[in-house]
Amino acid sequence: MRLVRFGEPGAEKPGLIDEENRIRDLSGEIDDIGGAVLSRHGLEKLRALDPKSLPKADPSHRLGPPVAGIRNFIAVGRNYAEHAAETGSETPSEPLLFNKAVSCIAGPRDGFAIPNGATKVDWEVEVAIVIGERCYQVSKDEAMNYVAGFCLCNDVSERTWQKERGGQWLKGKSAPGFGPLGPWLVTRDEIENPAALELWLDVNGQRMQTGTTADMIFDFATIVSYTSEFLALEPGDVITTGTPAGVGAGMKPPVFLKAGDIVTLGNAHLGEQRQVVSSPAE
């Protein structure tokens, strides 16, 4: 299934994408896409519905982030071998975890403003894991049973704040709009081989990133199991899992986003995002 949330910010309704790529309204069946709805049992109930029996939604609706009530937004740094190499970093021996503030989460086409004082705003196309059931200290073999599905994430990053201001990476990762998710949540059963997802990202139509999850240093099951060693993951929590090579900071000379730029990114299974970058005053 491809699950979506559509409508104005804070008033999104749950929906699904049918075989004809139309939005069907799920608000008569569930309150939202989060919590117990994301469990194995909850998703099975949604699969049992006939999409044709659900009302069609206006396709012009804004799409919001495909998950509601996210409590933890966790990210994995330097998790692609080629990306670690382009940044001149050592390959990590364990997953490098950091937080993005949940207040940075946005819809896939919402766009974002360059914050005041920011000079090195960068892009990162990523695959994000959506947790379906509470998991704490689960084994790698069991980890994927706790995953509801996957979605796209653009891990937008301000490199000065991330790397040159001391402390945690949270500073450079959490401005409003720096965490677009979606367009939809694709349930785990729909992804035949998570280790072979092709990713791409363009800026103003120019290809910047092309990569595959086959280049991940730590796979999805390892990331879920490892993260759960330290904290209890709850339904709806999101873990974005790292980016391929091709970020602006890795170019020679480095290239960063400016007002007016258009960032597009995608994957054949997970859909596409599009963000227009605006100035702080807009």
What residue ranges do the domains of the chain occupy? Answer: 67-278
> Kind and range of the H or E element at 99?
strand 96-99
Evaluate if pTM is beyond 0.85.
Answer: yes
Query: What was the pLDDT predicted at 85?
Result: 81
| b/e code 57-93 from CB counts within 10 Å (16+ = b) | beeebebbbbbbebebbbbbbbbbeebbebeeeeeee
pLDDT at 16 over 80: yes
Q: What is the mean pLDDT of residues 256-260?
A: 98
**SS3 state at 254:** coil
The answer to whether 65 and 105 are in contact (CB under 8 A) is yes
Query: What was the pLDDT predicted at 199?
Result: 98
Query: What was the pLDDT predicted at 84?
Result: 77
Query: What was the pLDDT predicted at 281?
Result: 67
Ramachandran area for residue 231 (φ above 0: left; ψ -120 to 50: alpha; else beta): beta
Count Cβ atoms below 10 Å from residue 247 Cβ, excluding itself.
24
Distance CA 236, CA 221 (A): 17
Rounded-to-5 percentages of helix, strand, coil across the chain: 20, 30, 50
pLDDT at 21 over 90: yes
Query: What was the pLDDT predicted at 87?
Result: 77
Query: What was the pLDDT predicted at 167?
Result: 80
Provide the residue count of the chain. Answer: 282
Q: What is the mean pLDDT of residues 126-149?
A: 98
pLDDT at 197 over 80: yes
Of the pLDDT bands very low, low, confident and very high (cuts 50, 70, 90), residue 86 is: confident
pLDDT at 282 over 70: no
Q: Which residues contact 49 (CB under 8 A, 6 or more apart)?
A: 29
Name the nearest CA neighbour of 99 among 181, 162, 33.
Answer: 162
- Per CATH, domain 67-278 is 3.40.50.800: no
Higher pLDDT, 146 or 281: 146
For the chain, how far is it from start to end, CA to CA, in angstroms? Answer: 36
